[in-house]
Amino acid sequence: MLNSPPKRETIKVCIRVRPLLSHEDIEYWDVDEVNSTISSLNLSDPSNQSLQNNFMSKALMDSIYTSQSFHFDKIYGQSSSSQTIYKEMCRDITKNVLTGINGSIFTYGQTTSGKTFTMLGNPKNPGVLPCVLKDMFDLIEKDTNNNYRVFCSYIEIYNENIHDLLTDANSLKLIDDNKYGVIVVGAKRVQIKNFEDGIKLKDFGEENRKYRDTLINEYSSRSHTIFQIFVESSQMDPDTNSITSRNSILNMVDLAGSEKLHETESQSGETGYINKSLFVLANVINKLAEGKKMHIPYRDSKLTRLLSMALGGNSLITVICNVSPSANNFFQTLSTLRFASRAKVVKLRPNVNEYYDEREMIEMYRNEIRKLQNEIGSGENEEEDSKINKKEVGSQEEEEKDYKMRYYN
Ligand code: ADP
Ligand code: MG
């Protein structure tokens, strides 16, 4: 049965405000979860005047004197949980990925705003990624109509260099792929059969990432990590006996710290590259938000090229923007809220990635013949089976060629 694309028309954006950290003392943003509004305090209000003395810089003081207010799909306050954010902002993506529709979940924000806490979390407060894996396999288990195969990759982009967190392979290239848009050549793809397999894979990649973090200064705040889930499913139409296959990809992207975007530091070398990736992403979002027909510079950075199909609209997208409530981070929080305001108007056109699958059909007929052979206990169908086998060998060869082209060229 064909699925129709879901109703979501634009990127879903929410804000998550983390609690103050131990070294932060002034809370400067007021969250109204009921009306999904976040506003900076109004210093001209007499009840807030005692705060004025606490601000060191006059520039900061002047710019924050007027209250800034933003409205989003959802704003999550300090006591919110990642599970709630998952249920309300991302669960529909998991469901749709299982029906052949691509999905992407981003965490955006300055360093220490809570991006990784939201994406990965910890065993006590699981992040969005474990929630996706748990929900996905629960849904697969309940679905008796489709056969699923799930594969994962875990990569990161640091200094415009793509690194495989599952194998340590470095300097990986991107190529166009007819199924998934753009893929990373040589990134290991591991089949996972349950939630535990997925968590083990994530933990393996994390160890690798943490190790690199100890080698390079500010590494984790400057790299983008991308956990990709590839879902293949097939279903037989009982009326026509034909098999339809679907494939989709779910990108979970923990972005580099956005503060580098706003600093007026040198555009060369390492920092320049980090800026480049995030600058291009912001630029792409700005252009998409304008909604006019124009050149979109996906190819200007590794991150945007890899995600070009998703950003181009063939994906459901949720962006979780993480912010600090602290007065010290006022400008960073403000710029994240502005980025979020632009992102929320970007239009989406998700498609069901579906095709008639000849290989699956051959496999099914082959199994059917085997079953019949077993039933009648004779070799009558051997000839027919060998024909199918020859055909299958052919398709295996084709598959291998296709694989080699995709991964090693
Ligand atoms: P980022 O990945 O954006 O640099 P982290 O996720 O590492 O930031 O968060 C920075 C610190 O704040 C960590 O110690 C993390 O545990 C804590 N933190 C972030 N968000 C929350 C939250 N919502 N609740 C409790 N602690 C949080
Ligand atoms: Mg982080």
pLDDT at 102: 94
Give pLDDT < 70 ranges for the chain: 1-8, 43-66, 260-275, 356-361, 364, 378-409
| β-pairing verdict for 12-17 and 316-323 | parallel
Looking at all shown ligands, the one closest to residue 84's CA atom is 1
pLDDT at 110: 94
Any atom of ligand 1 within 6 Å of the Cβ of 326: no
How many angstroms is it from 396 CA to the middle of ligand 1?
47
Which of 23, 117, 128, 278 to probe ligand 1 with, by most ligand atoms within 8 A of CB? 117
Which of 18, 23, 81 to probe ligand 1 with, by most ligand atoms within 8 A of CB? 18
pLDDT digits (tens, 9 = 90+) for 128-158: 999 999 999 999 999 999 999 999 999 999 9
Q: How many CB atoms lie within 10 A of CB 29?
A: 24
Any atom of ligand 1 within 6 Å of the Cβ of 107: no
How many angstroms is it from 157 CA to the middle of ligand 2?
13
Any atom of ligand 1 within 6 Å of the Cβ of 344: no
Residue in 319, 404, 409, 337 with CA at minimum distance from that of residue 40: 337
Q: What is the pTM of this model?
A: 0.84
Sequence-separated contacts (24+) of 288-294 with Cβ below 8 Å:
288/346, 288/347, 289/342, 289/343, 289/345, 289/346, 291/345, 291/347
pLDDT at 218: 82
Q: Whose CA is nearest to atom 9 of ligand 1?
A: 114
How many angstroms is it from 115 CA to the middle of ligand 1?
7
Any atom of ligand 1 within 6 Å of the Cβ of 224: no
pLDDT digits (tens, 9 = 90+) for 345-389: 998 888 888 876 666 667 767 777 888 888 877 544 444 444 434
pLDDT at 4: 59
